[in-house]
Every structure is written in C-alpha cells, then in structure tokens.
Amino acid sequence: MAGIELTRIRLNQADVINGARGGRRPPTLPKLRELLKILAEVVDLNNAAAVLGWDEETYMPEGGAKARGQQLSTLERLAHIRFTSDRVGELLTDLKRELSGADPNSDAVRLIEVTAQDYTKAIRVPPDFVGKLANLTTLSHRAWIRAKKMSDFSIFRPHLEKLVEMSKQYATFFPKSDHPYDVLIDDSEPGMKTADLRAMFAALRPELVKLLGAIASRPQVENLFLHRDYDKMRQRDLGVEVITKFGFNWRRGRLDETTHPFMTSFGIGDVRIATRLVPNPGISSLFDMIHEAGHGLYQQGANPAYERTPLNESASVAMDESQALLWEYLVGHSLPFWEHFYPLCQKAFSPHLDSVTLMTFYRGLNRVEPSLIRTEADEVTYNLHVILRTELEIGLLEGKISVRDLPELWNAKMKEYLGIVPPDDARGVLQDAHWSSDQMGYFPCYTNANLISAQLWEKINQDLPDLSNRIRNGKFEELLSWLREKVYGHGRKFETQELVRMATGSGITVEPYLRYLKEKYGQIYGF
C-alpha cells in the first residue's frame, strides 16, 4: 500500500507525498521530517504508558498502584506537552498550506488532517489536567477491582464521583458543543453526537422489542449443558487453536490473564491479548479470547508505513469494536464455524458435551434470554444493556443523576428493559471496568459497532459467496485478506462513515443488522 515512509523519507522520490498535483512543488521535506519525528516521540511515550497499563492489568501487585499512577501521569503529561507545543501548530499550518493542491486522499494530506484535528482538541486540555486524570484513573481502577470483588459500590463511589467531575470539567474545554456528552463521544467516535445516538436507539429499540416478543412466543431452546464448569485451561487451549486459525500471529502477539478482558498494542509487532479465565458460564472465556483476538487482528493488519503516526490507529472505537464483534459473533457464533470446531470442542469438554448434538449446541449457544452481564448477553438483548449505560452517563453529565444513586437507578432500568434485577453490585453497577478507566462515552460505540459488523458481513458474503463453506472447512485466509484490504490497512486515514461507505457502498445504517438478527433467530426459533 502506498504511503509515507515513517522511519525514512525517500528524498529522491517526487511522490514522497502521494498525490501532489497541478505542478505544485511537494511540501518542504525538512518540515515533514520534523513533524514525523515529533509524532513518533509522542507515540513512543504513549506506547510506554500503554506497556505500564498492560502490566498494571496483568502482573502488577496491588501495592504498586500509587507509583504506577505517578508514572503514567508523568508519561501522559509529557506526551501531551510534546504534542501541543507551538512548533507542532506551526508545522501543521505550513504543511496544510503546502498541501493545498495535493490529492485529498493522499496519505500526506490525511496525516496532516488527522493530526490537526487531534492537535486542535489537545491544545484545549491543560497538561496538568491530563496528568491528574491519569493518576486518578489508576487509583480508581484499583478501587473498582476491590469494589467488584467485595460487591460494594461504596468503595468505588468516591473515585467515580471525582471522575464524573473531571468529565464535566473536560467538557467545558469545548464550549461550542451542543451537549456535554458530545465531547466524550467524540473522543471515541469522531463526529457522532448525542442526538445521533438517540436517533439510532429510537430506530433499534422498537425492532428489538418486537423480535424479543417473537422469540418469547416460541419454545425456548435448551442450553443447560452450558451451565456447567468448563475447564479454564482447556478453554484457553481451544481459544489459542481457534485464533491461530483465524490468522493471529504469535510472533507479534501474546496472551495473558486479567480481571477484565482487553487488547492493547505497542506497535504492529507487539499486540497483547488479555483474557479472564472462568469455568462458568459455559465457554465464555473462549469467546472473550475470540473477541480480543478480533481487536488484535485489526492491529496486526495495520499498514507498516503508518507506524509511529496518528494514522496507525483504528478509524474509531466503533470500527475497532466492530472487528471484535465480527469475529466473536458473525464468525464464532455461526453454524459453519461450529461445524468445523464442534468435534474439537466435544473432545476438550468431555463428558459435558458427549450427548449434545451439533444443532442443539448451536441453538443453545445462541439462546436469547435477558441476562445480568453485558459481556454475556445474547445478540438480541445486548444493545438494551448499552442503552441503559448510555442513558445513565448522559444523566451524570447533565447533572440530573447523582453517583450515589447509580446502583438503584441501574437496577430500576434493568427491571424496565430486561425484566431482571441484579442481586448485588458486582453483577450490577460494578460489572464494567469502563468508568474506572475514564471511558465514559465509550458504551454507545458497541451498538454502532454492531451495525458496522453486520453491514460489513453482508458485503463480505456478496464478495466471497463461498465464505460459509470456507469457514466450515476451517479456512479463514480470504476473510482476513478482505478485512485487511478494506478495513485494517487504512488505519485512521478515513473516518468511520467514509470507510464503511468505501467498503460497502453506503454509510452506516441499521437495516443490515436487523436483517441479520431476524434471519438468524427466525431460523433458530422457527418463526
């Protein structure tokens, strides 16, 4: 793929800036070189912080929290100061002017545009705020771990109160926003507004309720065989075999254990998956690994030419999450997938599955039933969990909801939306790590990701009409190749809506997702 050489700019090539037109001279190479050097240093600082964050989640003893918070605060503050320097602003201004006649889709133009967007946002945020937030997040996350273990929201509450206040303060740095929540969403999903979310949920919710009604009218499928203890290490071993077949490169990746599954990377040559290993319910640890491997495959499929620049990131949180969901559900919960892997699964978890047929297993795996835990929710009810969290976050930002009232409000909304009430805080308001990690505004991306994954899947099956048979035979090379070409290799060069339009022919829409759900669950439940 054509692109800027990040570690070496080819001074002897006129097309070092891909797409310069109109007889205009390419931008002054020393300025581009200088900007790339600064960006590389910023990326290095952020990646160093990410290594410390990975260690915090996997191996760091609890007593290291205070020092780790200070270390992260220093690194993130230094990265912020380096990136928001006046010199970066000067270079961006000069390079924008010199690139005015270049191809708007060239790597150089897109790099400058993306960097300028980040710079414009970053200069509004004081470095001291960045450092303070990094330190607070580290301490808050450790408090969340303790609170969840003891199922006691009061342990986490004072930390969350501080985080909410800092989120409100952060929103004030962008006074032209229509809604304070817009600022938080934009960090994860550039361009999306609170009004867009409400419209998306308004289009989805009645259709999901209707589908749930149709499913409820049919006999429930059996899945008691999943409510047994499935050996943790056998789940890990099967997960490794599955994601290896997907194409995950272990020379450039590794797998570790953690409390809450995640993926992080420090470059395309170092991608880390961390998963929880639990025996129950069912084989949930297997799907945690598949989900995080979806993120990892995205990172490993990045364009090497973009490394150490802002282009070497996913287009958005939703696009990144769509890839995890695509591999976890569109592939991992499909019948062709289990036609290939079920014999291995039966062998690994004998005697639990000895008398369970493939179709019984497939139907049970995709059983639709309201559940307490978002990460274990079925595809039909999942987005109701997202709506619940989004509404609470908006209320917190608007000041209409108090942190102290979250457990009660959470339980009330669970009763209203799903008809069940969490028996304790651990399975209720404390179940997600997002708030402790300063990821307020992240949850809506999951629903947007569901829409994207289904829309891409529909197009993939049009382009690869033999895909089901290939999956049935354990062959994933063409699927991975399609995703690398259409999604992974573009990094952050194009915004999410633009990238989806390029890949599928239209912007993000709810229809493919609803078609997918209705067809799949109509077959499973017989309506």
pLDDT digits (tens, 9 = 90+) for 77-90: 999 999 999 999 99
26/72 Cα distance (integer angstroms): 39
SS3 (DSSP) at 182: helix
95/89 Cα distance (integer angstroms): 10
What is residue 24's predicted lDDT score, i.e. its pLDDT? 47
What is residue 191's predicted lDDT score, i.e. its pLDDT? 85
The contacts of residue 327 (CB under 8 Å, 6+ apart) are 246, 290, 291, 293, 294, 297
Dihedral sign, CA of 291, 293, 295, 297?
negative
Q: Is 23 left (phi over 0), alpha (psi -120 to 50) or beta?
A: left
SS3 (DSSP) at 262: strand
258/206 Cα distance (integer angstroms): 37
What is residue 20's predicted lDDT score, i.e. its pLDDT? 37
| Residue 451 burial (CB count, 10 A) | 24
Amino acid identity of 231? D
Dihedral sign, CA of 169, 175, 179, 182?
negative
Q: Which of 420, 340, 348 is nearest to 377 (CA)?
A: 420
How far is CA 520 from its chain centroid?
24
Parts of the chain with a pLDDT under 50: 1-27
1/10 Cα distance (integer angstroms): 16
The contacts of residue 304 (CB under 8 Å, 6+ apart) are 268
Delimit the CATH 1.10.1370.30 region(s) of the chain: 194-525
pLDDT digits (tens, 9 = 90+) for 390-421: 999 999 999 999 999 999 999 999 999 999 99
User: How many residues does the structure list for the chain?
Assistant: 527
Sheet holding 271-275, edge to edge: 253-257, 271-275, 262-265
13/438 Cα distance (integer angstroms): 44
Residues linked to residue 102 through DSSP beta bridges, in sequence order: 20
Q: Which of 307, 303, 317 is nearest to 263 (CA)?
A: 317
389/288 Cα distance (integer angstroms): 21
What is residue 279's predicted lDDT score, i.e. its pLDDT? 83
- What are the distances in angstroms from CA 18 to CA 73, 105, 117? 38, 9, 21
Q: Which residues are catalytic?
A: 292
The long-range contacts involving 54-62, CB below 8 angstroms and separated by at least 24 positions, are 54/264, 54/272, 54/274, 56/138, 56/141, 57/258, 57/259, 57/260, 57/262, 57/274, 58/256, 58/257, 58/258, 58/274, 59/256, 62/142
- What are the distances in angstroms from CA 237 to CA 51, 291, 330, 515? 25, 15, 22, 34
DSSP 8-state secondary structure symbol assigned to residue 20:
B
Instruction: Locate 270 and state its tokens.
Output: 């170092």
Question: Considering the domain 194-525 in this protein, what is its CATH number?
Answer: 1.10.1370.30
